[in-house]
Amino acid sequence: MQVTYATEAAPGCANEDVAVCGDGWALVLDGATAPPGVDSGCIHDVRWLVHRLAAALSQRLIRSGGALPVLLAEAITETCDAHAATCDLANPDSPSSTVAVTRTRGSVLDYLVLGDSPVVIRSPGEGLTVISDDRLAHLPGGRPYSRELVRTLRNKPDGFWVASTSPDVAYQAVAGSLPSAAGAEVGLFTDGVSRLVEFYGYDWEGIFWVLETSGPGALISLVRSLERDRPIGCGKRHDDATAVFATNADAEASAQRPASWRSLIGM
């Protein structure tokens, strides 16, 4: 399997996304940018959290065939242990991150999504399967959300779930397996890329065509061009953007995708 990825910070910012890939597995984390003036109770920034969590989870994916929620819970515990002596882990504004993971075991593909970093799988004969956790998009009152609303509903049963200071949130993730995923193409994305679908009217088939023919970097370039020309009405104008693409697809077959996809994405 060939795995390619690209990650790019929002213009003028430090990148709070992380992507790590190994033999048969990949993960993407998207750290939540702390609003100005918020006391997180932590001496570390979001980049520290996502890098520590990514390292802890990667080690477990290399060593263990355990269930993905279990591995994530263990990784969160290890990360918490690394700063429990210096930081207030009871603070609800502690640094947090989304998590997206895929792993292949023969023809089986395991997935886990926690927060708004989707996994998209295209299987021969099965078409597209989108694994998403859209709970953040359905908080009371609709967007734009107030800072206090997000704070109140973070990691709560009627709100949304992200990786932070409680290992139990791992069991709230959208997780499962596709038993017959041989030959599948897999994409993992932070919301800085999935905004192409959410805000700009593109579809996943067109996004996969860009990945196949031009790679993840071209997909991020498309995002940046749209952000400049058609700013999103609510939320960040720019965001950190990360895309991972794993495929066994034949390159010549990929090049034969319908011309309508190329016109859709302007290429």
Assess contact for 154 and 38: CB atoms under 8 A: no
Least-confidence region, from 2-6, 170-174, 180-184: 180-184
Mean pLDDT of 3-27: 96
**Is 167's pLDDT higher than 90?**
yes
pLDDT tens per residue across span 97-128: 999 999 999 889 999 999 999 999 998 877 89
Residue 121: helix, strand or coil by DSSP?
strand
Please give the residue that has the higher pLDDT: either 144 or 186.
186
Give the whole-angstrom CA distance, residue 217 versus residue 210: 9
**Is 253's pLDDT higher than 90?**
no
The whole-number pLDDT of residue 141 equals: 85
Assess contact for 257 and 33: CB atoms under 8 A: no
Compute the chain's Rg from CA coordinates.
18
User: ∠ CA 170-183-195 to the nearest 5 degrees?
Assistant: 55
CA 119 to the chain's CA centroid: 7
Categorize the per-residue pLDDT at 265 as very low, low, confident or very high, splitting at 50, 70 and 90. very low
Give the whole-angstrom CA distance, residue 222 versus residue 245: 16
Assess contact for 24 and 107: CB atoms under 8 A: no
Express the helix, strand and coil content of the chain in percent, nearest 5 each.
35, 25, 40
Give the whole-angstrom CA distance, residue 181 versus residue 3: 16
The whole-number pLDDT of residue 115 equals: 97
Burial 103-116 (b: 16+ CB within 10 A, else e): bbeeeebbbbbbbb
Mean pLDDT of 221-231: 94
User: ∠ CA 26-28-33 to the nearest 5 degrees?
Assistant: 170
The whole-number pLDDT of residue 126 equals: 79
The whole-number pLDDT of residue 267 equals: 47
Q: Which residues contact 106 (CB under 8 A, 6 or more apart)?
A: none
Categorize the per-residue pLDDT at 260 as very low, low, confident or very high, splitting at 50, 70 and 90. very low
The percent of residues above 90 in pLDDT, for the chain, comes to 77
**Is 262's pLDDT higher than 80?**
no
The pairing of beta strand 185-189 with beta strand 241-247? antiparallel
Residue 185 to residues 65, 191, 212, Cα–Cα distance (Å): 21, 19, 10
The whole-number pLDDT of residue 37 equals: 85
pTM of the model: 0.91
Residue 4: helix, strand or coil by DSSP?
strand
pLDDT tens per residue across span 38-82: 899 999 999 999 999 999 999 999 999 999 999 999 999 999 999
